[in-house]
Amino acid sequence: MRTMLVVALAVMAIAARVNADGKIYYRERLAPKIPYQRAVLFHRGGRETLLLQSKFTTSSGYAVTNAPMGWVVPVPTAAVISSMKADEVFPLFSMLSRETRPNVVEVSGWLFVVWLLVTLVGFVSGVCSLIVQGALKISGHSCRPMSSTMKFVLFASFLSCVILLIMPQFLDSRKGRHDVDVLSSQDVGIYHATVITSSSSMAVIDWLNTKGFSFTQSDMEVFDRYVRKGWCFVTAMVRTDALTKRIADYEGMVDPLILSFTSPSPVYPLALTSTTGTNTELLIYLLADRRMDCGDRVRMWYANTNSEEWSGYLYSWEDTTNFVVCSEGWETNLAFLCKFKGVLTPAQMTQDLEFAACPDNKPYRKRIVRW
């Protein structure tokens, strides 16, 4: 029995050493069957630049029908709008993925099998010992009390069974009608983009429906909240002359929409996505002057100061694409990179993601344990 205890302790020691080392994992896999959005947020000096990209529904990357396709994105203030080709922004997300990759700990399945066998043998031996002792006492025979070693083995086996059971959980109102004010209207990339505002959610919905969007009275509550806050709505409809052109990359990601607007703190508009009624996977990169967090709905995967490699890449990418977000001194103003990722249900998307400064800038990198 002591030999078995030594084996069990040795297995635990081996597992501990395996967990101390990490394999590198960096490929971001797109959700295959649910809506997928990814974004990069740049925030400094009360201004946010949001680069937003969504998964296109067809596999070919081409628009195959003349059905209207477009976005409606609520923003706190009137936004300056831009766009770029999907294949131009692909290197940016690839670089961010490599920079923020988690550590994946590959634990051999044999360790789990050995651990399971040792646990079962120890537990069964302890139970059998208790049964034998109970039977001897009932029959009036004297028996030696259970040794302290056996008691420890029984307790350790029981505790190990409990750990094995719980481990999977840890591993992984209608208003009066009013006019809609069109603040700006322009062609950007494949989109015809318009920024609108109104004091009536019903007026906004009616206007959107006349432009080919599909909203109903069930969406009224969400629009009401944005209207009461005085937010604007950016509409980006794919132009008819772009329907015969390639509008998505090989991943099925449509050309991104780039919005720049004033906001005291970083925000990711999300509530309108809840009206789709389906789960959505989000991937958000945030560059700001310090570490940020957005609560428990979307988990943090990475937080650290920008590396020299990433800083140099951002400069070269900005020059190549003419996407101007950085100015002199950006290394200080956008010195911290955070990554957030998760799948949200419609109920979890009823409120926008609002980011707030963390009390410290402690680095973090997610660790994934795989058996």
Higher-pLDDT residue of 215, 58: 215
Q: What are phi and psi of 257, to 5 degrees?
A: -110, 135
With beta carbons less than 8 A apart as the criterion, state whether 285 and 100 touch. yes
Number of H helices, E strands in the chain: 8, 19
Q: What is the pLDDT of residues 94-143, one digit of tens each?
A: 888 888 888 776 666 666 666 667 666 666 666 666 666 666 666 666 66
Give percent above pLDDT 90 in the chain: 28
Q: What are phi and psi of 67, to 5 degrees?
A: -65, 140
The whole-chain average pLDDT of the chain stands at 75
> In the 8-state DSSP scheme, what is residue 31?
P
Q: 6 burial class (0-12, 13-18, 19+ CB within 10 angstroms)? A: exposed
Query: Which pLDDT score, from 0 to 100, does residue 326 have?
Result: 46
CA 111 to chain centre: 31
When pLDDT is averaged across residues 46-71 and rounded to a whole number, the result is 67
Q: What are phi and psi of 129, to 5 degrees?
A: -60, -40
Q: Is the pLDDT of residue 176 over 50?
A: no
Higher-pLDDT residue of 12, 196: 196
Q: Report the 10 Å Cβ neighbour count for 227.
A: 23
Structural Rg of the chain based on CA atoms = 28
Q: What are phi and psi of 135, to 5 degrees?
A: -65, -40
With beta carbons less than 8 A apart as the criterion, state whether 294 and 270 touch. no
Query: Which pLDDT score, from 0 to 100, does residue 323 have?
Result: 60
Higher-pLDDT residue of 181, 4: 181
When pLDDT is averaged across residues 23-28 and rounded to a whole number, the result is 37
Q: Which two tokens stand for residue 337?
A: 């990179």
When pLDDT is averaged across residues 42-54 and rounded to a whole number, the result is 88
Q: What is the pLDDT of residues 219-237, one digit of tens each?
A: 889 999 999 999 999 999 8
> In the 8-state DSSP scheme, what is residue 342?
E
Q: What is the pLDDT of residues 150-162, one digit of tens each?
A: 666 666 666 666 6
Q: What is the pLDDT of residues 294-350, one digit of tens each?
A: 988 999 999 998 776 666 666 666 655 556 554 445 555 677 899 999 999 999 999
With beta carbons less than 8 A apart as the criterion, state whether 235 and 211 touch. yes
Query: Which pLDDT score, from 0 to 100, does residue 318 have?
Result: 60
With beta carbons less than 8 A apart as the criterion, state whether 195 and 232 touch. yes
Higher-pLDDT residue of 355, 55: 355
